[in-house]
Chain A
Amino acid sequence: MKKPLLIALAAVLLLVPLLHLVFPPGHALHLSEFYVGLLGKFLCFAICALALDLIWGFGGILSLGHGLFFALGGYGMGMYLMRQIGRDGQYQSDLPDFMVFLNWKELPWHWALSDSLVGQIILALAVPGLLAAVFGYFAFRSRIQGVYFSIITQALTVAAMLLFFRNETGFGGNNGFTDFKRIAGLAITSPGMKVGLCVASGIALIGCYLLARWLTQSRWGRILQAIRDAEGRVRFLGYDPVAYKLSAYVISAMMCALAGMLYVPQVGIINPGEMSPAASIEMAIWAAVGGRGTLIGPVFGAFFVNGTKSVFTAVWPEGWLYVLGGLFIAVTLFLPQGLMGLARRFKR
């Protein structure tokens, strides 16, 4: 089951640049900009689904707040992109437009690194990682499990959303960041940049997949599964479950942040809507539809659900949420192991 994925990803890495850049528009083999963007987005979603599978499928920890880490990664990248606009904004100021609008005279302290791409990348990974570490430490130490954990992660992301809606927080309020112009001096709308970001997302997905596979096949992964099935037993063997759950949670959060970082330049916008409860719940649906505890399944799940969404929002927009709800119910009732379980059943 691993080969098809790797072939598909290799196709992304090789065929996307070829089809988009080499074949001119109008050629039968030309891949339009729309599809390059769509594919890049899906690859980012697949990273999220994989990240969720690492803690949910293997650790039994259902986080309904991973949209927060995704959004924080996105905001981290967005800050850099806002600074890259330079004086090309509406107000032709050195400061981002929303700061001029709020009559701010200088950058707030948390924008200190925003002129450096490397600095912002580090920040966009470190902040979500640190937040997950602190939040997870207190949650796991207090033995908050199951649905309680899901609810407090959901509450956390809602709280963050409300915080980011405020203009004083310094992240553009409810408009968030948009109207990006360039990355590292190169135009963000150029075909080369579009393809580059799409390929980078593919590479990130492969990297995250290999990391997750290595982790889950190590003794650490087996202990994580043991904690999922019988946490008490693990404790009586002398392991501290907090350390294992926390490391899984932090790694998973940082994967989501990476996905958010790659997502924002491709879609050209980040706003607090990414922290809405629905966004986080959708990630859980991708993982469940694909098949928990398989790593590959959630990647397929993300593509399948989002592909279906693209189709439905084009032909029957108001019906999409019903389809999504129905899909989730059908998977829960009939396919507890998701699409991967279905594929396995057909194989036999």
Chain B
Amino acid sequence: MTPELLEAGAQAHSRALTRVVTDTGPVFNQGVALYVEDLKVAFDGFQALGGLSFTIGVGELRCVIGPNGAGKTTTMDCITGKTRPDSGRVYFGSNLDLRQMNEQQIARAGIGRKFQKPTVFEALTVTENLELSLAGDRRARFAMRAKLSGAQRDRLGELLKTVHLADEQSRVAGLLSHGQKQWLEIGMLLAQDPKLLLLDEPVAGMTDEETERTAELFLSLEGQHSLVVVEHDMSFVATLAGAHRTVTVLHEGKTLAEGTMAAVQSDEKVIEVYLGR
């Protein structure tokens, strides 16, 4: 047995012991979509998150920035169940304790995630990628006989248009350009119809025009969905944040500053560690 196997086994075991039935949706009665408090994660002694706290409001579009190693991706891993935090609280709505749920339960509860490196199903066509992402029954025995309903077909057509891939719909996803794969993954997220979208560097590798369209798309989603956008591209963040939206700056696994783009940019600490390098 390798150490990874032992560890995976131990994790599965502890999860099985603490499993609660959580296939109900989140309750947003206090205007908070995501609540993170004092989150701590260490990997082999390296403190990736050292007591991170923040909240995301319902329908809010939040940008998260921070230098490499600030803990942005680790935060997403903790929210989506990929990494188990050492301590702290992560709640979706006021009722779902995400630390007690596994990846697929968290996804079904309404949290969608876009990876840093675009991850699509390369052997399937664009339409098939979106079809698998559509909200609905996720059980294997259902999938053997599943057919698309008329409403789902319409939804697919709509999504293809939204992500500008209508012309590529029967192409194999592996043949798409990098930017198109990013778009496809965003489309897959939307197809899930999640309440909270976590987007890890969504415009990496996109052309300026594609980046601009992506910003427009995200802004149009604000209000219906809560969005958390992690990004390095400062002009993109500035476009998204505008004058009034909140930007969170992470540094060494903690929230360094939070405020409007202008406030954050003039913050002494932020200038020191990140912007003014």
Q: Flag if A236 contacts B103 (CB, 8 Å).
A: yes
Q: Flag if B108 contacts A238 (CB, 8 Å).
A: yes
Give Cα A239–Cα B102 distance, bound, in whole angstroms.
Answer: 11
Q: Flag if A233 contacts B120 (CB, 8 Å).
A: yes
Q: Flag if B9 contacts A239 (CB, 8 Å).
A: no
Question: Is B234's beta carbon under 8 Å from chain A?
Answer: no
Q: How far is the CB of B101 from chain A (nearest CB, A)?
A: 11
The contact of B122 among A142, A220, A229, A234, by CB within 8 Å, is A229
* A218-B146, A219-B146 as given contacts; A226 in contact with B140, CB under 8 Å: no
Q: Which residues of B (88-140) have their CB < 8 Å from a CB of A?
A: 102-104, 107-108, 112-113, 115, 119-124, 128, 131-133, 138-140
Contact flags (1/0) for A142-174 with B, using CB distance below 8 Å?
A: 111000100000000000000000000000000
Q: Flag if A218 contacts B144 (CB, 8 Å).
A: yes
Question: Is A244's beta carbon under 8 Å from chain B?
Answer: yes
Give Cα A222–Cα B129 distance, bound, in whole angstroms.
Answer: 9
Most chain A beta-carbon neighbours within 10 Å: one of B103, B107, B146: B103
Q: How far is the CB of A167 from chain B (nearest CB, A)?
A: 32
Give Cα A223–Cα B139 distance, bound, in whole angstroms.
Answer: 11
Most chain A beta-carbon neighbours within 10 Å: one of B9, B104, B108: B104
Q: Which residues of A (212-268) have their CB < 8 Å from a CB of B?
A: 215, 218-220, 222-223, 225-226, 228-230, 232-240, 243-244, 246-247
Q: Flag if B138 contacts A230 (CB, 8 Å).
A: no
The contact of B132 among A235, A237, A240, by CB within 8 Å, is A237
Name the interface size band of chain B.
Answer: 35 or more
Question: Is B143's beta carbon under 8 Å from chain A?
Answer: yes
Give Cα A215–Cα B2 distance, bound, in whole angstroms.
Answer: 34
Q: How many residues of chain A have a CB within 8 Å of chain B?
A: 29
* A142-B5, A233-B115, A238-B138 as given contacts; A223 in contact with B132, CB under 8 Å: yes
Q: How far is the CB of B77 from chain A (nearest CB, A)?
A: 11
The contact of B104 among A215, A218, A235, by CB within 8 Å, is A235
Q: Flag if B124 contacts A222 (CB, 8 Å).
A: yes
* A143-B8, A239-B138 as given contacts; A219 in contact with B121, CB under 8 Å: no
Give Cα A234–Cα B131 distance, bound, in whole angstroms.
Answer: 12
Question: Is A141's beta carbon under 8 Å from chain B?
Answer: yes
Main secondary structure of the interface of A (DSSP, over half): helix
Q: Which residues of B (122-174) have their CB < 8 Å from a CB of A?
A: 122-124, 128, 131-133, 138-141, 143-146
The contact of B121 among A148, A226, A243, by CB within 8 Å, is A226
Give Cα A237–Cα B113 distance, bound, in whole angstroms.
Answer: 8
Q: Flag if A220 contacts B107 (CB, 8 Å).
A: no
Q: Flag if B188 contacts A237 (CB, 8 Å).
A: yes
Chain B residue with the shortest CB-CB distance to A58: B123
Which residues of chain A have C-beta atoms less than 8 A from B133's C-beta?
A: 237
Q: How far is the CB of B277 from chain A (nearest CB, A)?
A: 33
Q: List 29 A-B contacts (CB under 8 A).
A: A142-B9, A143-B8, A143-B12, A144-B5, A144-B8, A148-B2, A148-B5, A219-B146, A220-B140, A220-B144, A223-B140, A225-B124, A226-B132, A229-B121, A229-B123, A230-B121, A232-B119, A233-B120, A233-B121, A234-B132, A235-B102, A235-B107, A236-B103, A236-B112, A238-B104, A238-B107, A238-B108, A239-B132, A243-B140
The 8 A-B residue pairs whose C-beta atoms are closest, nearest first, are: A238-B107, A220-B143, A238-B108, A235-B103, A243-B140, A226-B121, A219-B146, A220-B144
